[in-house]
Structure 1
Amino acid sequence: MAKKRFIAGAVCPQCSEQDTLRWWQENEIERVECVVCDYTDRRVPKSVDESEQLSPPTKEQVIGIFKPE
């Protein structure tokens, strides 16, 4: 199981609560979810996102990358 990390200061786009989003990586896919509502999002690596094997309806909205220092 991947370690899930909260994104400090982030606001959920669905419920507008702050500090409720957590991020983790699963099988080379970045995932974000809100612990208050049922909001989820994911991002595939750029090489997969640009692949011709994926048709446009299967691509999802991408989120930003969180890189702790």
Structure 2
Amino acid sequence: MSVTRKRFIAGAVCPSCNAMDSMMVWREDQVEVVECVKCKHYQRQTEQQVEKHVRAQEQVIGIFHPE
């Protein structure tokens, strides 16, 4: 059984409830998942969506775009 490591995003504000420091991020099947621990707002983003935002000569861990 594999344990999924979830990390909080320092300074992030939930786009739904506006709570600060309540967003956590993890990966499921090569997809980045972000969830608010306060209101349970949930967002998924695939690598193809991330690639169009990456500039040449940069290394990106992940990009989060609240909707």
TM-score by length of structure 1 reads 0.66
Alignment-mate amino acid for residue 44 of structure 1 = T
Match of 1:12 in 2: 14
Match of 1:32 in 2: 34
Structure 2: runs of 5 or more not aligned: 50-61
Q: CA deviation at 1:11?
A: 0.1
Instruction: Please tell me the root mean square deviation across aligned C-alpha atoms, in Å.
Output: 1.8
The C-alpha deviation readout for 1:13-61, integer Å capped at 9, x for no partner, is 00000000000011000000000002000101118xxxxxxxxxxxxxx
Structure 1: runs of 5 or more not aligned: 48-63
Match of 2:45 in 1: 43
Q: CA deviation at 1:65?
A: 1.9
TM-score by length of structure 2 reads 0.68
Alignment-mate amino acid for residue 9 of structure 1 = G
Alignment-mate amino acid for residue 4 of structure 1 = K
Q: Which runs of 4+ in 1 moved over 4 A?
A: none
